[in-house]
Amino acid sequence: MNVEEFRDFCLSFPNTREGMPFEGFFKNSKSILVFYVGRKMFCLLDLNKFDRCTLKCDPKLIDGLRELKGVDKPFNLSQKHWVSVGLNGEVSWELIQSLVADSYKLVAESILKKNI
């Protein structure tokens, strides 16, 4: 998997867009690519490194996921709601796809609930 395949997969979800909102926040933030559903983030990664992505996650599943090799605490986001997932082969592409899809669904459902 390369960055373009990953990007295409993230953008394949309905109402998804990408952006780079952290350009002025800290030294290496210019290359942080964020995927949104509506106005909410569901995935982010560093384009320069492409070594891991950060995903929204059901808090009930986080402890179990962190027991897996390649899944860790996120950088600079809530450890209660986000996980960092390795993209260097430690985590299978199938699991990564599943976690990205789950992240998208979690955020999309929260948007729907607020609009009801």
pLDDT averages per 10-residue partition of the chain, 116 residues: 94 96 75 94 94 96 93 90 94 96 95 66
pLDDT of residue 116: 44
Of 9, 81, 85, 94, nearest to 46 by C-alpha is: 85
pLDDT of residue 114: 66
pLDDT of residue 115: 61
Strand ordering across the sheet containing 40-46? 16-19, 32-37, 40-46, 52-56, 82-86, 71-72
